Amino acid sequence: MAITFNEEKKIFKLDTRDSTYAILIYRENYLVHLYYGAKLPDDNLTGLMYRGRFDSLSPYNPKVEDPLFSPDINPMEYSTNGAGDFRISALSVRGEAGNTVTDIRYVSHRIFSGKPGLSGLPAAFASEEEAQTLEVETVDAVTGVKVFLLYTVFEDLGVMTRSVRVENGGKSPVELTRVYSACVDLPRMDYDMVHLYGRWNKENSLNRHPLMHGIQSIRSKRGMTGANHNPFVALAAPGCTEETGEAFGFHLVYSGNFAIDIECDTREFSRLLIGINPEDFRWRLEPGEVFTSPEAVMVYSSQGLGGMSRTLHKFYPAHLMRSEWAHKKRPLLINSWEAAYFDFDDDKLVEFAQKAKELGIEMLVMDDGWFGNRCDDHRALGDWYVNEKKLKGGLSNLIQRVNDLGIKFGIWYEPEMINPDSDLYRAHPDWAIRAPGREHSISRYQCVLDMTRKEVRDNIFEQMYKVISQNHIDYIKWDCNRHITEAASAALPPERQGEFFHRYVLGVYDLMDRITTAFPHILLENCSSGGGRFDPGMLYYSPQIWASDNTDPIERLSIQFGASLCYPVSAMGAHVSASPRTGLKTKGAVAMCGTFGYELDPRKMTEEEKDQVRGQAADYHRYYDLIRKGDFYRLVSPAENSFHCEWEFVSEDQSEVLFTSVIMRQPEHNFYIQRLRGLDPDRYYRDEDTGEVYSGALLMNAGINLSGDGWPREDGDSLTKHFVAV
Ligand code: DGJ
């Protein structure tokens, strides 16, 4: 049993294959957090609740009759505001009386097989055999607000998910001013905080730094996730390396304003909160109404950051990506954007498809520019009807010509946006988000549609449905190229304007749900000016997300390595483009560490380049399963080494290894050995190029000598090696 409740000791234990999480119901029904970390066989955990003597300023509840218990010092399971705990709080409710004192106590619990979905939100899923769930009911006695804490344990994968449901069980409306998805109190602060930051064209830079006293946080208030911070934090214990030591990962399944806050107090404890950003958030709950928080994913690893990443790489395809394409082989595609931008017509696209066919490519994606009067990025977003001046003969005719070549067809949309120069805006100017009395800011010449409004979503759905249902479309790229300003909805009363940002995200999820439900066989790829909305919420709907508009292969190394901290390689949209640095070989090797595809004009290739691309297309099929199902090892990260970057994929049965090395710039030394990881030391592996056979022990302990003849030496050069067990 993954979840047990010890009646006598009043302790919940949530065990995965290698971790334990424990909660105590203490006197006066306080829920106290006991432990999160490596698996423990013990039942006798009550002593873990104590965190030292408190001083004369520590508030306490006299009814508890424990001189060592203060809500401000002991680890609390789900911290609340204003009732004795001065640290950052996960929950704050403004009641009828106007104050925000919030104090929840245990009422009941149930443990059941499987995992419930979350109303209107993306969430992990599991069969009754794969997971077990604990639901703890608590109540705030004064407001009558019931708070249900949900924990699902994926025992075999070492993963837990958490969320919170708040029900107004009182007689008056209340206002939620913060509702985090999870709170974790850890008894130390000597962790490194590891997270991903960036900007447009430079996403997912790895940042690792020690926690400090005080509050540190990463947040978004853009309405979307944004490229600036990913909603993920790892806490790496002292000595945690890529492959050894303890790491905790916390990831939010959400695509809007998020916050991951960590407070380290003077006692050197740390509290982590993960959930919706409380800034600009207020939610009114009428009696009987329910609010559901997004889901947080938590993983504990005793095998360093690499072990943590590999767990998430397995978890998301199995339990979060609901698309059939999570497990189906995806077609090798070419995208028109960097090849043509807005300058295309039907004949040019058919030429692309003809040339692509000769190269072994399987799908053509028509990017931005096919609809309304869209001749540049100044106009027509919102007008989702085919521009027949560009696509002469219409879309069906174009797709037929492409399909006749044996090539599938994909299309681009930016459903949440509207240009002031569009028919949609002229008909419904009030559908663009703007606060009363204020002009809306412009970004990339466009505004954001008010997705909180059903009639807006219905209009966009109907426009999309018409085009998609009347045409043979295999793939959709869902783009999103600006963030929200002057946030307000004409459809919400003043007392509900604080709900705007979350309602926007719920609206996007609703539209994405309707499209993917209506067209379940279409492969959906998300995108937001590159990787600006690369988050687990999006993965629920689309098994792949365009990782960056930066297609330079050397820059891509750090972008994709960074993303691999918490996302599987199968999710990272990566294409070979015409970018000037490096040859096709390295571009192919880097894109192969992603979904793999092309984004260049296939008419402009030399015969030699075409041969190379045919070889890459063959490799795409040859290594498809190894890359998507194998274990990914970051051997040398561009965040740590500016000369070279190395990685490998090892098949689950350890019978195959694909190793890649890229020279980013010349090292001072010219002798270099790389040791592989994850092989079976007792087996022998044949180098598929040379036929030489080496033991797994040799490859892992002595390593590959990267200094010999034929090994890469020049800037931008690379090498890929395939070893197969004999
Ligand atoms: C931003 C995306 O990241 C690009 O790939 C491309 O689709 C453009 N938008 C089109 O406007």
DSSP assignment of 391-408 equals STTHHHHHHHHHHHTT-E
DSSP string, 146-184: EEEEEEEEEGGGTEEEEEEEEEE-SSS-EEEEEEEEEEE
pLDDT digits (tens, 9 = 90+) for 517-556: 999 999 999 999 999 999 999 999 999 999 999 999 999 9
**Residue 684 has what pLDDT?**
98
pLDDT in tens, 386-399: 999 999 999 999 99
d(CA 430, CA 414): 19
**Using one digit for the tens of pLDDT, what is the confidence trace for 112-156?**
999 999 999 999 999 999 999 999 999 999 999 999 999 999 999
The pair of structure tokens assigned to 340 is 């043509």
Three-state DSSP class for residue 357:
helix
Residue with tokens 């005080």: 214
Give 53 Cα–ligand 1 centroid separation in angstroms: 57
Fold adopted by 340-546: TIM Barrel (3.20.20)
Whole-angstrom Cα Rg for the chain: 27
pLDDT at residue 1 above 90?
Answer: no
549 as an active site residue: the answer is yes
SS3 242: coil
Q: Which residue do the tokens 């009696």 mark?
A: 287
Choosing from 72, 103, 479, 619, which is the catalytic residue?
479
pLDDT band at 333 (very low <50, low <70, confident <90, very high): very high
What is the structure's pLDDT at 707?
Answer: 81
Q: Please state, in angstroms and rounded to a whole number, the distance separating the CA atoms of residues 484 and 511.
A: 18
Considering only CA atoms, which residue is closest to atom 11 of ligand 1?
368
Q: Is 527 in the pocket of ligand 1 (CB under 6 A)?
A: yes
Which pLDDT belongs to residue 235?
98
Active site residue 450: no
- Can you tell me the mean pLDDT for 261-266? 96
Residue of 481, 528, 538, 579 best suited for mutating to test ligand 1, as the one with most atoms within 8 Å of CB: 481
Q: Report the mean per-residue pLDDT for the chain.
A: 97
Question: So what's the pLDDT on residue 487?
Answer: 98
Q: What topology does CATH give the domain 632-725?
A: Immunoglobulin-like (2.60.40)
Atom 1 of ligand 1, residue of closest alpha carbon: 529
- Of the candidates 185, 549, 619, 631, the residue annotated as catalytic is 549
Alpha-carbon torsion, ordered 107, 112, 116, 118, to 10 deg: 20
Residue 591's closest CA among 580, 599, 603?
599
- Looking at the chain, the whole-number percentage of residues with pLDDT higher than 90 is 95
Token pair belonging to 721: 């090696």
414 CB near ligand 1 (under 6 Å)? no
Task: Report the pLDDT value the prediction gives residue 668, as an integer from 0 to 100.
Answer: 73
Answer whether 294's CB lies under 8 Å from 275's CB. Answer: yes
pTM of the model: 0.98
Average pLDDT (258-274) is 96
What is the four-CA torsion angle of 112, 113, 114, 117, rounded to 10 degrees?
-10
The answer to whether 23 and 10 are in contact (CB under 8 A) is no
Residue tagged 């709900």 (tokens): 499
Ligand 1 centroid from CA 341, angstroms = 9
Ligand 1 atom nearest the C-alpha of 548 is 3
pLDDT tens profile 201-235: 999 999 999 999 999 999 999 999 999 999 999 99
pLDDT score recorded for residue 56:
78
Residue showing tokens 């800034």: 279
Query: Residue 720 is encoded by which pair of tokens?
Result: 């890929």
Task: Give the mean model confidence (pLDDT) for residues 435-451.
Answer: 97
Separation between Cα atoms, residue 26 and residue 453, nearest integer Å:
45
CATH 3.20.20.70 residue spans of the chain? 340-546
Q: How far is the CA of 359 from the centre of ligand 1 (A)?
A: 24
Q: CATH 2.70.98.60: which residues of the chain?
A: 3-319
CA–CA dist 21, 50 (Å, integer): 16
Write the DSSP symbol of residue 516. Answer: H
Residue ranges, CATH 2.60.40.1180, the chain: 632-725
**CATH 3.40.50.11540 assigned to 3-319:** no
As a whole number of angstroms, the distance between CA 612 and CA 609 comes to: 5
What the block records as the tokens of 659 is 């190793």
Cα gap 91→146, rounded to integer Å: 12
| pLDDT of 671 over the 90 cut | no
Confidence of residue 709 (pLDDT cuts 50, 70, 90): low
pLDDT value for 710: 65
CB neighbour list of residue 429: distance below 8 Å, 6 or more residues apart:
none
For 342-388, how does the pLDDT look when each residue is reduced to its tens digit (9 = 90+)? Answer: 999 999 999 999 999 999 999 999 999 999 999 999 999 999 999 99
Q: Ligand 1 within 6 A of 186 CB?
A: no
Structure tokens at 38: 């490596």
In whole angstroms, what is the distance from residue 593 CA to residue 616 CA?
13
Compute CA distances 164 → 78, 181, 563, whole Å: 10, 6, 27
Mean pLDDT to the nearest integer, 70-98: 97
220 vs 274: CA distance, rounded Å: 12
Ligand 1 neighbour 530 (Cβ under 6 A): yes
H or E stretch at 620: helix 607-622
